[in-house]
Amino acid sequence: MSSQGCGRLARVAQRQPILLIDSPSLYFRAYFGIPESAAKTGDGQPVNAVRGFLDMLAQLVRTRRPDRMICALDHDWRPAWRVELLPSYKAHRVAPEGGEVVPDTLSPQVPMILEVLDALGIPAVGADGYEADDVLGTLSVTQPGPVEVVSGDRDLFQLVDDAHPVRLLYVGRGVAKLDDCDDAAVRTRYGVPADRYADFAALRGDPSDGLPGVAGVGEKTAARLIDRYGGLDGILAALDDPRSGFAPGLRAKLDAARDYLAVAPKVVRVATDVPLPELDPALPTSPADPDRLLELAQRWNLAGSCRRLVDALAGDRS
Calculate the average pLDDT of the chain. Answer: 92
What mean pLDDT is predicted for residues 259-278? Answer: 95
Percentage of residues in the chain having pLDDT higher than 90:
82
What mean pLDDT is predicted for residues 292-314? Answer: 97
Res. 317: pLDDT tops 70: no
Secondary structure letter of residue 42 according to DSSP:
T
Give the strand pairing for 18-22 and 147-151: parallel
What mean pLDDT is predicted for residues 164-177? Answer: 92
Instruction: Indicate the range of 5-14, 199-208, 212-221, 275-284 predicted with least confidence.
Output: 5-14
Q: How far is CA 218 from CA 116, 175, 203, in A?
A: 43, 29, 8
Band of pLDDT at residue 5, cut at 50, 70 and 90: very low
For position 14, what pLDDT does the model report?
58
Band of pLDDT at residue 12, cut at 50, 70 and 90: very low
Nearest-angstrom CA–CA distance, 3 and 7: 8
H helical segments located in the chain? 23-33, 48-64, 80-85, 109-120, 132-142, 183-190, 197-204, 219-229, 232-239, 248-256, 258-268, 290-299, 303-314
Band of pLDDT at residue 157, cut at 50, 70 and 90: very high
**If DSSP codes are grouped into helix, strand and coil, which group holds residue 268?**
helix
Q: What is the pLDDT of residues 15-44, one digit of tens each?
A: 899 999 999 999 999 999 999 999 999 999
Long-range pairs of 8-13 with CB within 8 A, sequence gap ≥ 24: 8/178, 8/179, 8/180, 9/180, 9/181, 9/182, 9/185, 11/180
Instruction: Indicate the range of 11-15, 125-129, 208-212 predicted with least confidence.
Output: 11-15
Supply the pTM of this predicted model: 0.91
Nearest to 21 by CA among 107, 141, 105, 140: 140
Res. 303: pLDDT tops 80: yes
Res. 314: pLDDT tops 50: yes
> What type of residue is 242?
P
Res. 9: pLDDT tops 50: no
What mean pLDDT is predicted for residues 102-121? Answer: 96
Q: What is the pLDDT of residues 202-249, one digit of tens each?
A: 999 999 899 999 999 999 999 999 999 999 999 998 888 877 777 888
Contact 281, 70 (CB under 8 A): yes
Nearest to 23 by CA among 58, 56, 68, 64: 56
DSSP letters, 89-145, are TTGGGB-TTSSB---TTTTTHHHHHHHHHHHHT--EE--TT--HHHHHHHHHHHSPS
> What type of residue is 248?
P
Contact 166, 160 (CB under 8 A): yes
For position 316, what pLDDT does the model report?
59
- The Cα angle at residue 152 between residues 196 and 145, in degrees rounded to 5: 65
CA atoms within 13 A on the CB side of 292: 13
Instruction: Indicate the range of 62-66, 82-86, 95-99 predicted with least confidence.
Output: 95-99
